[in-house]
Amino acid sequence: MNLAENVNTTSPAVLRDLIRTEKERRAASASLYEFVKQSWPVVEPGVRFIESWHIEEICEHLMAVSDSEIQKLLINIPPRHSKSTIVSVMWPMWEWLTQPDQKFLCASYSGNLSIRDNLKARRLVQSPWYQERWGHMFKLSGDQNAKQRFENDKTGYRLATSVGGTATGEGGSRLILDDPHSAQEAQSDTIRESALDWFDMVWSTRLNDPRNDAMVTIMQRLHDRDISGHILDDIGGWEHLMIPAEWDGVPRRSVLGVYDPRQVEGELICPERFGEKEITELKQLLGTYGTAGQLQQDPTPSEGGILRTQYFELWPHDQGLPPFEYILQSYDCAFTEKTTGDPTACTVWAMFTHEGERGVMLIDAWSEHLTYPDLRARAIKDWNTEYGGMSKDSPYSRARRPDRILVEAKASGQSLLQDLRLAKVPAVGYNPHNADKVSRAHQAAPILELGMVWIPESKKNPGHRVSWANDFYNELTKFPVAAHDDYVDTFTQAMIYLKNDHWFELPQAMDIDEPIKPDKPRVNPYAV
C-alpha cells in the first residue's frame, strides 16, 4: 500500500502503521545496522537480538565497502558472534535495496554451509517483511531460484560455492569468503596449503571488475598460516577488522578510526550474548592453542608446545591405584627389526572417577622394534595382562584385562587388526581420515589441559613419575620436532577415541555460526 496515495482514505490506526513502516523502511535502507535489527526476527526467528558495538562496527565497515571506501576487507572475530548472518546473509540483501545488480559469489569451507546461508538470504528476500517494504525494487527470477543460486530481474545474483570449488565461468562484484577453513582441516599442512593455492589462483581471480569490485573475508583464526595469515603476511593491502574475544589492551584502528571501544583488559565483546560461562567452556574445549587463535585471533606458531606436558597430573603412589572402569590399549605399528626406523609403540589407558571427576591414567607404555610375528604374539599376550584395583578390600579389586585394543587402520596396522579379530581379541581400527599428526594433537590437547590425564608416581622417587613413562613423556614434550612420534600417535588416537566414546564430559563443540537460543523463544511475526 502506497502511503501518499492512501493518506486520505485510510483509518487512523492503519495510517499510523503505514507511517511507522515507512520510517522503518527509510531507516533500514540508509543503515545496514538498522536493517540487521529489523530483519533479525525474519532470519533468526526465536532468537533475541542483542545490540552490540561489534555488530555496529561490522556493519559500518561493510557499508564502507558498499560506498567504495574499502575494497578489500578482512574481519577476524570469534565464533558465535553472528558474523555469517550479518556478512553473508543480511549485507547482500541490503545492498540489493540500492544496487540490485550486485553479483555476490559466496564461499565457505563446506558447501552445505554456503547453501545454508544462500537459503537464508533467499527466504529473507521472499519474506512478507522484505516484500512489503522493497518488493517493488526487483523480482526474483523464477528460472534461477535454486538452493545454490538465485537471481533477480536486475541481473543481480547470489551464488554459493565451497573452498576448493572451481567456480568455473563464474564471477562476482562482491566476493564473500566466510570461514574458509574448518578447525580440523586448518591443522593439516596439505589441506591448508591447498586452500591457500585456491585462494590465490581461483578465488582472487573471480572479480568481474578488479579495479572497482570488492572482496570480504570473515573468519576465526585457526592457524598462523591460514588464509588470514596469508593475507596479512604475504599479500597485504587489506583493511583489517580484528576483534578478540577478550580485550588484550591493544587499541586498534581501521580506515574508519578506532573501532574497539573496550578499555578494561579481559573485557568481553558482548557479555549479554556470550559471557564468562560460555567463554570458559569454549576455552576448555579449544585448549591453549585454539584459544589463542579462535578466541583471541592471534594464533601462535604450531611448532612445539602443542601437548603441554606440565598439565599431566601425578597419581600418588601411597593411594594405590583407583578402581578402573574401562581399559584401552592403543597401538602405533611399525613392522621392522631395524633400529633406525620407527618402532612400534603401545600405551595402556584406564578410565576412573576420582572425587567426582572423570580421569584417565597411563598404566603401561612400551616401544620396541619388532617383526610382525613378534608383534602379533606380543599384542595377544598384552591383551591378557591384568590391571588391578585400588586395594584388596575394594569391591573393584578384581583385576581386569583391557576392554578394547585400538589400532590405527593404516597399511602397517591392518594386518594386526585383522589377526587380532581372528584371535577373538576385541580390536577396533582408528581412522584419522584427513587429520594429520598435528591436527590430532590439537584435538587431544584440551583433555590434557583440563587436568584429566594422570601418570602414576614413582615409588623409588617420590614426586616424580614412574620411570617407564619417561620416554613417553619426553616424546610428547618435543612433539612435533622430535625424531619419533610413535607414543604421540598412541596418545592422541586414544584420547580422541575416548572422547568420541563419551568417556569425557567436555563442553560440546559449537556450530561455527549457530545462534544462541533464549530460554523462551519469541514468536516470529514474519515467519515464512
What pLDDT, on the 0 to 100 scale, is given for residue 389? 60
Q: Given this model, what pLDDT does residue 411 score?
A: 65
- Tell me what the mean pLDDT of segment 11-21 comes to: 80
CATH tag, 49-294: 3.40.50
Determine the pLDDT at residue 341: 63
The single residue listed with the C-alpha cell 563443540 is: 509
- Least confident span in 5-14, 91-100, 225-234: 5-14
Q: Which residues contact 31 (CB under 8 A, 6 or more apart)?
A: 59, 63
Kindly report whether the peptide bond that precedes residue 480 is cis, defined as omega within 30 degrees of 0: yes
Q: What is the pLDDT of residue 442?
A: 87
Q: Report the amino acid identity of residue 176.
A: I
**Is the pLDDT higher at 341 or at 413?**
413
Average pLDDT value for residue range 49-65: 96
Checking if the pLDDT of 228 tops 50, the result is yes
Single out the residue of 190, 202, 189 nearest to residue 163, CA to CA.
202
Instruction: Return the CATH number of 309-500, one of 3.30.420.240, 1.10.10.10, 3.40.50.2300, 3.40.50.300.
Output: 3.30.420.240
Average pLDDT over residues 185-196: 88
C-alpha cell recorded at residue 404: 578394547
The pLDDT value recorded for residue 390 is 54
Q: Which residues are within 8 A (CB) of 88 and not within 5 positions of it... i.e. 6 or more apart?
A: 106, 117, 121, 176, 178, 218
- Tell me the C-alpha distance between 401 and 419, whole Å: 19
Q: Which residue has the cell 588416537?
A: 493
Q: What number of H helices and E strands is found in the chain?
A: 16, 17
Residue 13's pLDDT is 76
* One-letter identity of residue 340: T
- Report whether pLDDT(11) > 50: yes
Tens digit of pLDDT for each residue in 420-458?
999 999 999 998 877 888 889 988 998 998 899 999 999
Nine cell digits for residue 121: 538470504
Mean predicted confidence (pLDDT) in 482-496:
90
Q: Report how far residue 274's alpha carbon sits from residue 268's, in angstroms, rounded to the nearest whole number.
A: 8
Percent of residues, the chain, with pLDDT higher than 90: 56
What pLDDT score was predicted for residue 413?
84
For 344-354, write each residue's pLDDT tens digit: 999 999 999 98
pLDDT confidence of residue 497? 94
Q: Are strands 253-254 and 257-258 parallel, antiparallel or unpaired?
A: antiparallel
CA atoms of 443 and 153, how far apart (whole Å)? 48
Q: At 142, is the secondary structure helix, strand, or coil? A: strand
Rounded Cα gap, residues 350 and 307, in angstroms: 20
**Distance, CA of 455 to CA of 453 (rounded, Å):** 7
State the average pLDDT over residues 32-36. 98
Task: Give domain limits for the chain.
Answer: 49-294, 309-500
pLDDT at 498: 95
Q: pLDDT band for 510, please (50, 70, 90 cuts).
A: very low
Whether this prediction's pTM lies above 0.85 is answered by no
Percent of the chain residues topping a pLDDT of 70: 87
Per-residue pLDDT, 25: 93
Residue 399, pLDDT > 80, answer: no
Say yes or no to pLDDT of 220 above 60.
yes
pLDDT of res. 338: 57
Average pLDDT taken over every residue of the chain? 86
Tens-digit pLDDT profile for residues 410-420: 767 889 999 99
Per-residue model confidence as pLDDT tens digits over 243-278: 999 998 888 889 999 899 999 999 999 999 889 998
DSSP 366-396: EEE-B-HHHHHHHHHHHHT--B--S-TTSTT
Residues 113-153: pLDDT tens digits?
A: 889 999 999 999 999 999 999 999 999 987 655 788 999 99
Return the pLDDT at 434: 75
Instruction: Work out the pLDDT band at 308, boundaries 50, 70, 90.
Output: confident
Please give the pLDDT value at position 394: 47
